[in-house]
Each structure stands twice: as structure tokens, then as C-alpha cells.
Amino acid sequence: MSELLLIVVSAILVNNFVLVQFLGLCPFMGVSKKVETAIGLSLATTFVLTLASICSYLVQQYILKPFDLEFLRTISFILVIAVVVQFTEMVVNKTSPMLYRVLGIFLPLITTNCIVLGVALLNANRSQYTFIQASVNGFAAGIGFSLVLVLFAAMRERIAIADVPKPFQGAAIGMLTAGLMSLAFMGFSGLIKL
Amino acid sequence: MNMVFIAVTALVILSLVFGAILGFAAVRFRVEGNPIAEQINALLPQTQCGQCGYPGCKPYAEAIAAGDKINKCPPGGEATIQALAELLDVEPEPLDAVEGEKPQMVAFIREAECIGCTKCIQACPVDAILGAAKQMHTVIVSECTGCDLCVEPCPVDCIEMIPVASTLQTWKWEHPLPPGTLIATDRESLS
């Protein structure tokens, strides 16, 4: 149990996938202009991450490992992720058409979001992970992503109405803010060793 | 050789399984109609006036859902543009109409001049004109949306658009001046 807790804290704070491992920066910069949109994308990404790490763990353990096919890891994980994203897209389109429209191109782009493939590959690298641990790691990675995305979007909403000097307006101040947030998250390093 | 065969078989089986899952999901989660257009339609004022260039509010809603501009609805005015921008997550734009936003108008038939031709009744999109052939017509004020469409067909020009007088219920503060403009007394004191 404490092992699971450590995995959660590690994925959310200490080794946060966005601000410490620098995975998934495209939606982090792209979908952080409005808090509602950011929450929508966080939910979709968390869902995809959890499902993708479960599926890729199953593929890794029951297909790739027994047949000694671990060199096919990347291509089969990409296949898994593409299917999970397509599935999520259909579900979102059915349940919340507004969110579907707002997310727009960023929903299919979760496929190429490196955080998803990153979590799947990191899970596969740590071969001591059990099924539960791998899925919890995926879920926690999603929570970590959601946390920083929503925090960042809330800050950018305020920055948008702030009096920013001309050279820093737009993406530049966003990058600076992201860098400062990343520095703040570096403060968690050394809290846990995994 | 054997290795390659196993690898190809594994990938093919994996793809087939995933394809089956997606195929099932496509049938299970099929979306009927365009739910966005419905939501946009609910925000439009439903005057069916056609000033946007479409035959009514529903076609305009479908056009917006397909990517048309949101600023073509004079009866809705600024409030509708704001609501649409909020819904669609785009930037609100100024109203795209020749005269800009008009005050709320209502049609008025000078009943002494009316010849009872029923042409305005056919033109009215919201059935706000009451009357029959060779009988005097009149406008149901609470139904009239002020869309102007009945003025044109009248052969004796007895319909005029009058602004709705503001009552205690409908009165509201005037919009503040845009930044940079001065009120009249300030301009006078400067010059």
C-alpha cells in the first residue's frame, strides 16, 4: 500500500511528467488559455493515460514478453495509444459535444502527446511493476498533468488581463511562467527515491 | 525467419483485436444530428428575420456550427455575440450590420389606411400580425420581434417601425462611453 502511495506522490509531485520530466509540453502550452478547457483536456488525458498504461501493460506482459518480442514495444504501444485515443474521442463526442468542439484538434493530438507513450515505456522499463502499480502510475501521471495544467491555465487567465511589457506578451510570458513553475516543482526533488 | 513470422502475426492479431473494439465503439457511440447546432440555435433570438443571409435561425445555427462568423445577427445584438463567443470559445467580434445595433423596434399598422390585403401577414415570420382578407390588420406587440420584414410588402405603406418606449421593467443603464471619448460637458470646457 505504501508502495502505491509512493508511486502516486512521485508521479504527481516529485517526478511530475510535465514540469520535471518535460513530457507533454504541447497541450501544456496550447490548451492553457482557459481554465474550463484545461479541465476538459486534463480529464481526457487522465482517462487516456490510465487506459493506455493498463492496455500497454497487458500487451507488454502477455504478448511481447512471452514471445520475446520486446523490440516491438514502441510500435505496439503507439497502436494501443491510438486506439485508446480514438475510443476516448468517440465517447467524448457522444457524452459532451461541447467539450469535443472546444478540445478540437488537441483531442486526437493526445495520440502524439509524448506523456502517454512516455508513461507506457517507463512502466515497461520498470519490469518489477505489477499490474496495479502500472495502472496507478498511469493514473497518477494523469493527475499530475491535470494539476499543473489547471494551475498554469489559472495563472494564464490572470496574465491575459495583466499589464505585460510588450516584448513579453503572449507565448513569451507563458514560457517564463512555465519555467518558474518548473523551478518550484524542482523543490520536491529528493523527497522520494524510487 | 521464425522470429519475423511471430512478430508479424502478433502485430496483425493485435491490430485486428483493436480494430474490432473500435468498430464496436463506432456503432455503440454513434452521434445523431449535430448537437452543436442545437445549442447554437437555442442562443439565437428566433426572430427568423433572415438578416444574417440565411433563411432563418436554424440554418444560421448550422452555418455557425460549420464555421461561419458569429456576428451576423442584428436582432440578437451584442448579447447574442457574447453568448455565442462564450459557447464556442472564440473571440467576440463587433456586430456585422450596416446600421449597427438598432434599438428594440415594434411594427405599427396605421389602421385607418390598411386595406386588408394580408400581404404583411404572409411576410411575418412569427405570426405577430392579426387580420383577415378585407379586414383591418393589427400587430400583436408582445409577439413582434421588430424584424422589418412586413414593411416592404405593404402596398399602401401603412406599416411603420416605432421604437419601443422603455418602461420601468425594461429600462437599463446606458453603456459607458468607450475609453478616450469625453462626455459633452468635458468637450465644451476643453474647447
B35–A97 C-beta distance less than 8 A: yes
Say if B173 falls within a structural domain: no
Q: Is the pLDDT of residue A153 over 90?
A: yes
C-alpha cell at A177: 511562467
Q: How many domains does chain B have?
A: 2
Say if B160 falls within a structural domain: yes
Residues B158 and B108 in one domain: yes
Average pLDDT value for residue range B29-55: 80
Say if B63 falls within a structural domain: yes
Say if B3 falls within a structural domain: no
Quick one: DSSP state of residue A96?
-
Q: How far is CA A161 from the centre of its chain?
A: 28
The CATH number linked to B54 is: 1.10.15.40
Residues B108 and B133 in one domain: yes
What are A's interface residues with B at a Cβ cutoff of 8 A? 34, 37, 59, 63-64, 67-69, 72, 75-76, 79-80, 83, 86-87, 90-91, 93-94, 97-98, 101-102
- What is the tens place of the pLDDT at every residue in B81-108? 888 888 887 777 777 765 555 667 888 9
ipTM, two decimals, is 0.72
Say if B179 falls within a structural domain: no
In percent, how much of chain B has pLDDT > 90? 6
Say if B22 falls within a structural domain: no
Say if B58 falls within a structural domain: yes
Q: Count other C-beta atoms under 10 Å from residue B186's C-beta.
A: 10
The CATH number linked to B148 is: 3.30.70.20
Say if B108 falls within a structural domain: yes
CB A125, CB A5: distance < 8 Å: no
Residues B107 and B163 in one domain: yes
Stronger pLDDT, B176 or A78, i.e. the higher one: A78
Contacts of A18 (CB under 8 A, 6+ apart): A24, A25, A28, A115, A144, A145, A148, A149
Q: B91 — contact with chain A (CB < 8 Å)?
A: no
Residues B80 and B109 in one domain: no
Residues B120 and B72 in one domain: no
> Long-range CB contacts (< 8 A, 24+ apart) of A21-25?
A21/A118, A23/A114, A23/A115, A23/A118, A23/A119, A24/A113, A24/A114, A24/A115, A24/A116, A24/A118, A24/A145, A25/A178
Instruction: Please give the residue range of the domain that contains residue B75.
Output: 35-88
Average pLDDT value for residue range B4-28: 90
**Domain coordinates in residue numbering, chain A:** 9-186
Distance separating alpha carbons of residues A54 and A65, to the nearest angstrom: 16
Q: Which of A27-31, B56-60, B184-188 has the lowest mean pLDDT?
A: B184-188
